[in-house]
Amino acid sequence: MRLFIAIPISDAVKQKIGDLQQPIEGIRWQENEQMHLTLKFVGEADMQLKKSLQKRLDEIEHPTFTIDLKGFGYFPERGRPKVLWIGLRENSSLRVLQQKVEQKCQAVGIAPEDRPYKPHVTMARVQGASKRTVNAFINEHKKFTVRDMMINQFVLYKSKLQPDGAQHSRLQTFLLNDGT
């Protein structure tokens, strides 16, 4: 099974993101159910690795915090865009949580990511739209922001690839500490 660890996006924020979507040739918008903020892509895992990972992730203690969604970009940064994303204002609590997740993954034998962590919410898959078209969308919505999005959990997800995109299902939710 394919696994990843992410922060779910609230329905209210998904709606705000969805309000930006408009028909654009060569852009396939992400379904609301698929929107999340990835902390770690695990990849293929057997049942034993899944159980070990769940146990380790359950050990994480981290306070609740807020994040601000701000700005857009695309991957890859050079060449033809393939993914359009919404960025985040720099957030030290998010970085620390991501590092804790990374450490727990390494503790069960999952290789560390070889690229620096770039927090984002995937908004669309670019399938043929030009860089100019993508940049026009980014410029049109550059003032978009969501402030103080409460983060009180992260989730271990299973991802099943389908012809029309991946289907994500929650395997386990890990609550952050609310200070009480």
Average pLDDT over residues 120-141: 95
Least confident of 69-73, 120-124, 125-129, 166-170: 166-170
- The reported pLDDT for the residue numbered 87 is 95
Tell me the pLDDT tens digit for each residue of 92-111.
999 999 999 999 999 999 99
For 2-175, CATH number out of 3.90.550.10, 2.60.40.420, 3.40.50.20, 3.90.1140.10 equals: 3.90.1140.10
Q: Supply the pLDDT for residue 179.
A: 60
C-alpha distances in Å from residue 97, one per residue of 20, 29, 37, 69, 124: 29, 28, 12, 17, 25
120 is a catalytic site residue:
yes
Q: Look over the chain and give the mean of its residue pLDDT values, rounded to a whole number.
A: 94
14-67 residue pLDDT tens: 999 999 999 999 999 998 888 999 999 999 999 999 999 999 999 999 999 999
Question: Residue 162: its pLDDT value, please?
Answer: 76
Where do the domains of the chain lie?
2-175
Q: Does pTM top 0.85 for this prediction?
A: yes
DSSP for 68-110 reads EEEEEEEESSSSS--EEEEEE---HHHHHHHHHHHHHHHHTTP
| pLDDT of residue 10 exceeding 90 | yes
Q: Which of 62, 120, 141, 168 is catalytic?
A: 120
pLDDT value at residue 180: 52
- pLDDT (average), residues 55-80: 95
Element (H, E) at 125: strand 120-126
Banded pLDDT at 170 (limits 50, 70, 90): very high
Q: Catalytic residue, from 36, 62, 141, 168: name it.
A: 36
